[in-house]
Amino acid sequence: MKYLIIPLLIFGLVFSLIPAQAKAASVNDEMIRIEKASTVLEEIMAIPDNSIPANLLADAKGIAIYPNVVKAAFAVGARFGQGVFVAREPDGSWSSPSFINLVGGSFGFQIGAEVTDLVLVFMTQRSVEALGKGDLTLGATASIAAGPIGRSGEASTDIKLSAEILSYSKTRGLFGGVALDGAIVQVDTDANRLVYGTPDPIKIAATKVPALARRFTCIVAKYTGTSDKMCA
């Protein structure tokens, strides 16, 4: 029995840190999630020398943003985050944002807890399609690497060509690439159904997009150099 105490304590700690909307969400909660994702992207791109390179965003096939990912650990680590995802449409514009979650764990002696913002840049259509089919395991379903930052990062074509997904995190004001092998990206079917009436992100219709969701898509269009008549 005593061997179960620490794992149970870990679970309790992580659960207590999970945002309230993860436990009992409403449409307003999901709109807050989108608004926070917009803020994360704007803050990251505000400093050109320490941001996601523009050429990578211009070539991106999908972008996932997780505000306030919780990572807690005591001997066994655990990670949880709620985010939004947009995919590049055939005409080059961006899809309506769908809702996604991030779960993952790690092993080894560690202690402490932190909250970080996370951005995943999907560089291949295959990785986007893999997410559309269900859970995507980073490093297994799709290759992943810590992404380069700033203007100097625009020359990192070797990383760009070898990884399907580039990952970034912002913790305590610091921004940079981060390794996330083993974490799982999940489609949040409950949130998609709540906001759009369908759990399938592929079937989310533009006519159903709330104003905050459209604002997020327009912010993505701005930083990826994409024209969107809906954002004029």
Three-class HEC string of 170-231: EECCEEEECCCCCCEEEECHHHHHHHHCCCCHHHCCHHHCCHHHHHHHHHHHHHCCCCCHHH
pLDDT reported for residue 227:
74
Mean pLDDT of 57-80: 78
Q: Lowest-confidence range among 39-48, 155-164, 210-219?
A: 155-164
pLDDT score, position 209: 73
Q: CA-CA distance, 111 to 72, in Å (whole number)?
A: 8
| 94 residue type, one letter | W
Residue 232: inside a domain, yes or no? no
**What local confidence, expressed as pLDDT, does residue 41 receive?**
94
State residue 139's pLDDT score: 87
**pLDDT surpasses 50 at 20:** no
Q: Identify whether 37 is part of a domain.
A: yes
81 falls within a domain: yes
Domains in the chain: how many in total? 1
Range of the domain at 180: 2-227
Nearest-5° Cα angle at 162, 178 to 67: 30
What average pLDDT does the chain have? 77
Query: What pLDDT sits at residue 120?
Result: 94
Asked if residue 40 is part of any domain, the answer here is yes
Strand partners, 84: 65, 99
Nearest Cα neighbor of 38 from 181, 173, 176, 215 is 215
Residue pair 98/144 in contact by the 8 Å Cβ criterion: no
Residue 69 and residue 101: Cα distance in Å, rounded? 10
Rounded Cα distance, 172 and 226, in Å: 30
pLDDT of residue 154: 56
pLDDT at 47: 82
Q: Is 166 exposed, middle or buried (0-12, 13-18, 19+ CB in 10 A)?
A: buried
Whether pTM > 0.85 for this model: the answer is no
Q: Count of CB atoms within 10 A of residue 49's CB?
A: 9
Whether 13 shows a pLDDT value over 50: the answer reads: no
Average pLDDT (79-108) is: 84
